[in-house]
Each structure stands twice: as structure tokens, then as C-alpha cells.
Structure 1
């Protein structure tokens, strides 16, 4: 595939939403709940089938999944597979003088931050419950 073919290749945004959602272990129902009352599992399923997603919905989904909008707009599985295949089939060293973020690394980092935040929130809740119990027992 030539460079111009790569540029003309369509990115399937709905499929990318599904990929990121599944990588994060989020069910369609949970995403629907986060998007609001007029969303349900069926509507998420239809959204994930759309090649192009409306920019406002794309922004909402990206915020919920905690990924950059650009990751959903630009992720191309075929290109990722080609990079990986070329990296491991070629014995030469790969040097990237212009490193960019890797969406999966960013997702892992965000997921770990989310877990840490959740654990802090649970600890704060427990501490608050203890304080409230002490106040009630006085």
C-alpha cells in the first residue's frame, strides 16, 4: 500500500470506539449509562457500527473512555499490525527521534490512574464514615 493509499484509507471510528471500550473492560450498557438517559446498549451497538461518528458524540465518548479524540479518529489496526510486523521481522534497530505517545500505553496509564483514584475515594469514604460514626456516638 503506498503512502497516498494510507491517507485515503477510511478509519472506522465506531470500530475504534468498540476497541478502546473493550480494552478498558467497559460494557456497552456502562457506556450508555455514562452518555445519559437517551442512550442504551442497542444505541451503543449501532454507534459502534458507524464509520464516522458525530464530533460531539465522539468527544463525549473519548472523555468517558479517557482517551484523546485523536486516538479514536486516527487508530488504524492495519497500520499498527504493519508497524509491529516490520519491527519484529526486520533485525535492524528501530530508532525514533520524534517519539509520539502510543495510545495503548496511554490507555494503560489512564487505567492505572483511574484505579488509584478509585482506591483513594474508597479510603476517603471509609474515613468519612468513621468520623460520622464517632459524631453520632458522642
Structure 2
């Protein structure tokens, strides 16, 4: 088998991306609404039609281009370019420009206002029904 054929084997690329995402064939099959045997067949195929490739890409959470251009060397280089986080400014945490607790409290206040409006609407309905019953 030539190196060129191996590099362009779409099924192997799908398999490697799936493995890097720590996903089993069964999980990918479930995400695509198919079975594990179909995923195995796709991963053993040298080529995959564009429609099926788009489905696979969506289920894996990557773009079609990412699958087509994937290589183990590029993935290794990508991860090797990260340095030790203690000695650099690289930080993989979330950077919020707001205080998450403040946002949470805003949502709680909003829910409280909505609940009070709902309660008032129910009281108004009850009052209206009582007026109708008393009128008879």
C-alpha cells in the first residue's frame, strides 16, 4: 500500500478522530442513528461519500475539512506545541468577563419576578371565576 493511499484513507482518519475524542464506535453509531457495524464499514472504507462524511463530521463535532485534512503528525505537533502551564501564560480554563455568581443571581431574580407574575395571573383568574359564580 502506498503512503499516499494511506494518508488519504478517510475511514482511518474518521477512526483516529473518533479515538482522540474518546468515543466508541457504538457511541458514534448512536449519534448518527445507525449501528456499530455501519461505523465499522465506514472506518474500513478508503472513501466516504460527501453526504455520509458530513453526517460523521457532525456526530464527531468536527468539520468535514478537519476529517479530510487530518493527520497523526499534525495532531501530535498541535499538542506538542503546548508548554507546561506552570511556566507559561497558557491557561485552558474559562475566562469570564463577568462574575458567574452575579449572572446566576440575575437569573434567580428574573425567575422570581416571572413566578410572581404567574401567581398574580392565577389570583386574577380565581377572582374572575368567583365573580362569575356569584353573579349566577
The normalised TM-score by structure 1 is 0.48
TM (normalized to structure 2)?
Answer: 0.48
- Compare relative contact order (CA 8 Å, sep 6+) and give the higher one, 1 or 2: 1
* Higher-Rg member (1/2): 2
